[in-house]
Structure 1
Amino acid sequence: MKKLILLISFSVLTFSQSFAQDKDTLKTDLNDEYNKWSFEFNLGQSKGIKPYSVGYFGSDPNKSFGSVTLNHYSGGVRYMFSPKFGLKADLAFDRLENLSDESLDFEMQHIRFGIQGVVNGARLFDIQEALGRFSLLFHGGIQVAQMTPQMGINKDRDEWNGGIMIGFTPEFRITKHLAMNADFTMNSYVRQHFNWDGAYSDPNNNLAGSLYTISLGASFSFGAEKIHGDWAVLRDKQQEEIEALEKRVGEIENNMGDTDQDGVPDYLDVEPNSIAGIAVDTKGRMVDLNKNGVPDEMERYLNSTYTTNQMLVNSEKETVKKLINEGYVATYFDFNKTKPTNVSTEGIDFILTYLRNNPTATVDIIGHADEIGKNPYNDKLAATRANSVKEILLKAGITEDRLNVVSDGEDTSVDKDSAGARRLVRRVTFKVK
Structure 2
Amino acid sequence: MKKAVLPLLLLCLSQGINAQEADTSAKPAKDYNKWTVEFGGGINKVSNPLNSGYHVDGYSLYHLGLGARYMFNTKFGAKLDVAMDRLKGDDVSIGFQTKYYSTSLQGIVNVGRLLEFEEWTKRLNVMGHMGVGVGVLTGDEIDKGDKTGNFLMGMTGQLKLSNRVSIYGDFTMLNAFSMQLAWDGHPNTNNKPGFDGTLYNASVGINIALGSHKEHADWYVFNNDDVINELENRVSELEELMNDVDKDGVPDYLDVEPNTPSGALVDPKGRNIDLNKNGVPDYIDSALAEMESKGAGSGAGAAEIVDLINDGYVNIYFDFNKDMPTSASTGAITFLITYLKDNPEKSASIWGFADEIGDAKYNQELSERRANNVKKIFTDAGIDTSRLTIEGKGVDNSVNKDSSAARQTVRRVKLVIK
The answer to whether the superposition gives a TM-score over 0.5 is: yes
Does structure 1 conserve the Cα–Cα contact (< 8 Å) formed by 2:44 and 2:63?
no
- Residue 272 of structure 1: aligned partner: 258
Aligned residue among 66, 84, 91 for 1:92: 84
Give the superposed CA RMSD: 5.3
1:428, CA displacement in angstroms? 0.4
Answering whether residue 181 of structure 2 is matched by residue 213 of structure 1, we say: no
TM-score by length of 2: 0.66
Q: Which amino acid aligns with 2:42?
A: G
Equivalent of residue 110 in structure 2, options 122, 126, 145? 122
Helix, strand or coil at the partner of 2:364: helix
Q: Are positions 1:336 and 2:325 aligned together? A: no
Q: Does 1:296 align with 2:285?
A: yes
For structure 1, the residue ranges without an aligned partner over 5 or more in a row are 1-5, 60-64, 149-155, 195-199, 236-242
8 Å contact from structure 1 (residues 394, 400) kept in 2: yes
Which of 383, 391, 398 is the equivalent residue of 1:406? 391
**What SS is found at the alignment partner of 2:156?**
strand
Residue 41 of structure 2 aligns to a residue whose secondary structure is: strand
Confirm or deny: 8 A CA contact 1:112 1:143 kept in the other structure. no
Alignment CA distance shift 1:169-1:329 (3 Å): same
Which residue number corresponds to residue 15 of structure 1? 8
Q: In the alignment, is the contact (CA less than 8 A) between 2:44 and 2:85 conserved in 1?
A: no
State the distance in 1 between where 2:7 and 2:110 align. Answer: 17
More deviation, 328-337/42-51 = 42-51
- How many residue pairs match? The answer is 381
Partners of 2:104 and 2:399 in 1: CA distance = 65
Higher Rg:
1
Instruction: Work out the CA distance in 2 between the residues paired with 1:166 and 1:347.
Output: 79
Does the C-alpha gap of structure 1 residues 306 and 95 become closer, same or farther in structure 2, counting only changes over 3 Å? same
Q: Secondary structure at the match of 1:192?
A: coil
Give deviations 1:110-145, integer Å, cap 9, x for gaps: 521224341211289855895977451313556656
Match 1:391 to one of 347, 351, 376: 376
Asked whether the 8 Å contact 1:369–1:378 carries over to 2, the reply is yes
Alignment of 1:319-398 (within 5 A): 319-352=304-337, 362-396=347-381, 398=383
Is the 8 Å Cα contact of residues 259 and 266 (structure 1) preserved in structure 2?
A: yes
The normalised TM-score by structure 1 is: 0.64
What is the SS of the residue equivalent to 1:112? Answer: strand
Name the residue aligned to 1:152. Answer: none
Q: CA deviation at 1:332?
A: 1.7
The answer to whether the 8 A contact 1:364-1:431 is kept is: yes
CA pair 117-181 structure 1, distance change in 2 beyond 3 A: same
Percent identity, aligned pairs only? Answer: 29
Alpha-carbon distance in structure 2 between the residues aligned to 1:144 and 1:349: 88
Contact 2:12 2:107 in 1 (8 A): no
Alignment equivalent of 2:168, drawn from 181, 184, 193: 181
CA distance, structure 2, for counterparts of residue 37 and residue 396 of structure 1: 72
From the superposition, tell whether residues 345 and 39 of structure 1 become closer, same or farther in structure 2 (CA, over 3 Å). Answer: closer
Hey, what's the Cα distance between the residues in 2 that align with 1:76 and 1:271?
68
Q: Give the residue type in structure 2 aligned to 1:88.
A: L
Secondary structure in 1 matching 2:409: helix
- Could you tell me how far 1:323 is from its partner in structure 2? 2.5
Instruction: Specify the SS of the correspondent of 2:262.
Output: coil
Determine the C-alpha separation between the residues in 2 that align with 1:29 and 1:296: 58
Q: Which amino acid aligns with 1:213?
A: N
Long gaps (5+) in structure 2: 223-229
